[in-house]
Amino acid sequence: MTGILNGTYQPMLVVLSMGVATWASFVALNVAPRIWSSTGWPRIGWILAAATAMGGGIWSMHFIAMLAFSLSVPVGYSIPVTLISLAIAIDVTAVGFAIIAGGRSTRRLALAGVIMGLGVAAMHYTGMAAMQLPAVISYDPTLVGLSILIACVAATAALWIALREKGTLWRAGAAVVMGVAVYGMHYTGMEAARFTTMPGLLHPSTAQLNQSSLAIIIAAASAIIFALELLSVRFDRHLESMREREQHIVQSTTDRFRHLVQSSNDIFLVVTRTGQITFVVQSQGLTGFDVKALESGSIFDLVEGQGADLLRRALIVHGPRSTAAHVDHIKIRKAGGPLRDYEATLCNMTHEPAIGGVVVTFHDVTERERAVSELLQTKQVSEDASRLKSEFIANMNHELRTPLNAILGFSEMLMNDAQGKLAEDRYRDYAKDINRSGSQLLSIINDILDFAKSDAKQLSLNESLIDAATLIEDSVRFVTPIANKKGVIITVKIAPNMPTFRGDERRLRQILLNLLSNAVKFTPAEREVRVLARVSDASGVQIEVEDTGIGIPPDQISRVMEPFYQVDGSLARTQEGTGLGLPIAKSLAELHGGTLTLESSVGYGTTARLILPPERCVRQTAAA
C-alpha cells in the first residue's frame, strides 16, 4: 500500500542548522582576506582552508537539518553518497574562492556566486540521494528552481559584501547572507520533496549510517572543522602581526641608519684587504667626489700623507672580530679643493656575508688639527710672554730699585745735614720733596712688582701665629699721621673672643694698609673710618674697614677689583694711585684661602670685608 509521508521538524535542530550555516560562512569569509593578500602556494592553502570551512559547514548544516526532519518510517544514509556530498560542497566552494582570488571584477564575482550557489544545491540534492528509506522521493520542479535561485543570488550578495573589506561587522553581515543562501536553499528544497511510501522497496546492500551515528559524526566534524579554521585564522593573525611588527622594526632601523649615515660628514667605504673599493655608502662626506669613480678604484688612489702606509699595513694585519683599528695623519683631497686631514677607523667584517670586506670610516679632523696647531702656537706665545715677563720683573726689581734707593738715601742725608748744614733752608725743603716723591715712586713700583708676581703665581707665604689686635693696631699706626693731617677719625673695635690665627703677617698688614689708606683717602674731613674685628659666621676671622666717604656706584663695585681700574679715570681726578692696591689685596686674601669683598652705597661710604677661613684659627691648640 502506498501513501504520501508528511515530515515534521524539531525547532531546536532547525535553529541549530541555521546557526551552523551562518557560523561556517563567517569563518570562511574571515579566512578569505588571506586569499587576496597572499600568492603562490600560501594562496592555494588559504583557498583550501576557506573551502573546507564553507563546504564542511554547508554539509553539516544539511545533515543537522535532516536530523531535524522526522518521518514515520526508519531512515538511513549511504556512507559513500554522504561522503560524495561533502566532497562536492568543499570542491565547488574551492572553485568559487579560486575565481575571486584571481580578481574582483563584477564578472568574477557573479560567476563565483553562481558556482557557490550551484555547489550548495548539488550538495543538498546529493545528500538527499543518500537517504535510504521505504519510500520514493520526487521533487516539484518549480520549488527546485527557486531553491537554486535563492542559493545563487544569496551567495553572490554575500561575496559582494565580503569583498568590500569594511571590517568584521561587514564580514558578519556577509556571513548572515551566505547562511540565508544555505538554509534558504535547503528548506526550500525540502518543500520541493515528496516522499511516497513503497513498503517493498529494496536498497543496495551498502554501508549505512543511522541517525544517531550521523548526528555524532556531524557534531564531531563540525567541531573539528570550525576549531581548526578558527585556530588557523588566529595563528595566521598572530604571525601576520609578528611579521608586521618585525617589518616595522626593521624598516624603522633601516631608515634611521640610512638617515644617520646620509647626514654624516664621514666617508664610509667597504674595501678588500688589498684596498680595492667594493662599496661606497652615500653620505654628506662624499660631497665633491665622483662616487662611480671611487667604486671602481683603490682606496690608495684616494689617500695621501704619511698615514697611507699605516693604512695599508692595517688592512693586511687587522683581523676579523678584533677591535677597531685607527690610523691618523691621512690626507684626502676633494675635487677642486685643498688637502684635508682625516683619521681612519677600520672594522674587519669579511666574515659577514652581507658585507664581506673591511669597513673603513674616514673622519675629517682638519678643523681639529688646525685648532690644535693654534693652541700650540698660543701656548708657545704664552710661555714666551711669561718668560719675558719674568725677565722684565727681575730687571725692574734691579734697575728701578737701585737708583731709587740711591735717591732716597742721598735725600735723607741732605734732610739730616749728614755732610754739613745746607746753605739755605729751602734746599732742605727740596730734599724733602725729592724724598717724598721717591718714596711715592717706590710704592708704585712695589705695587707693580707685587701684581706681576701675583699674576705669575710667584707669591708665597711666610706664615706665623698672628694676634688680630696687634696686627690691626700696627696697621692703624701707619696711617694715623695721614688721617690726622686730613682730619679723619679712625676708631677700632675688636671682639674679645678673637682667636689667634696663622698667616703671613707682612702680607696681611699689606692688605689692611691698602684698605685703610683707601678709606682715609676717600673720606672727607671730620668724618670717621671704623675698623671692626670679630669671629665670622663660619668661625673664621672677619676684619672690616668701614669709611663714610663718597662710596662707589653699584655698577663699578666689581670693576674696582680689576687691575689698573679706577672709578675716576680722568686726568683731573683728585686722588692718586695705580689701581693695583685692591687687586693685590684680593690676591693676597685668596692666597690665604680667604675672601675680600666690597659693599658700597654712593654718598654713604664703603665697607671692605676680609674673611679668613676657620682652618687658619688655632684657638683650640692655644687653649690646649
**Rounded to an integer, what distance in angstroms lies between the CA atom of residue 144 and that of residue 239?**
45
List the one residue out of 61, 55, 53 whose CA is nearest residue 26.
53
The pLDDT tens digits of the residues spanning 420-473 come to 665 566 666 666 667 666 666 666 666 666 666 655 555 678 899 999 999 999
First-to-last alpha carbon distance for the chain, in angstroms, is 142
Asked if the structure places residue 355 within a domain, the reply is yes
List the one residue out of 530, 554, 539 whose CA is nearest residue 612.
539
**Rounded to an integer, what distance in angstroms lies between the CA atom of residue 125 and that of residue 133?**
16
What single-letter amino acid sits at 243?
R
**Rounded to an integer, what distance in angstroms lies between the CA atom of residue 543 and that of residue 507?**
15
Asked if the structure places residue 249 within a domain, the reply is no
Asked if the structure places residue 248 within a domain, the reply is no
Last residue of a domain, one of 455, 489, 506: 455
Asked if the structure places residue 257 within a domain, the reply is no
SS3 52: helix
**Rounded to an integer, what distance in angstroms lies between the CA atom of residue 541 and that of residue 501?**
8
**Rounded to an integer, what distance in angstroms lies between the CA atom of residue 43 and that of residue 302?**
53
Pairing of strands 135-139, 193-197: antiparallel
Contact, 276 vs 373, CB < 8 A? no
Asked if the structure places residue 89 within a domain, the reply is yes
Confidence band (pLDDT; 50, 70, 90) for 546? very high
Last residue of a domain, one of 402, 432, 455: 455
Task: Give yes or no: residues 490 and 596 share one domain.
Answer: yes
pTM (2 d.p.): 0.40
Place of cell 675672601: 595
Task: Give yes or no: residues 76 and 218 share one domain.
Answer: yes
Note down the domain range covering 170.
4-240
The pLDDT value recorded for residue 573 is: 42
The pLDDT tens digits of the residues spanning 331-386 come to 888 766 788 888 888 888 888 887 888 888 888 888 888 888 888 888 888 777 76
The pLDDT tens digits of the residues spanning 9-61 come to 888 888 887 877 777 777 777 766 677 667 777 778 878 877 887 787 788 88
SS3 492: strand
Which of 163-167, 240-244, 331-335 has the lowest average pLDDT?
A: 163-167
**Rounded to an integer, what distance in angstroms lies between the CA atom of residue 332 and that of residue 287?**
13
Task: Give yes or no: residues 486 and 562 share one domain.
Answer: yes
Task: Give yes or no: residues 104 and 207 share one domain.
Answer: yes
The pLDDT tens digits of the residues spanning 61-105 come to 887 888 888 888 888 788 888 889 888 888 888 888 888 787 778
Asked if the structure places residue 245 within a domain, the reply is no
Asked if the structure places residue 247 within a domain, the reply is no
Place of cell 689617500: 303
Residue 250 neighbours by CB under 8 Å, 6+ apart: none
Number of domains in the chain: 4
**Number of other residues whose CB lies within 10 A of the CB of residue 509:** 16
Residue 406 neighbours by CB under 8 Å, 6+ apart: none
Residue 271 neighbours by CB under 8 Å, 6+ apart: 277, 278, 299, 315, 357, 358, 360
Last residue of a domain, one of 364, 392, 426: 364
What single-letter amino acid sits at 33?
P
Task: Give yes or no: residues 399 and 433 share one domain.
Answer: yes
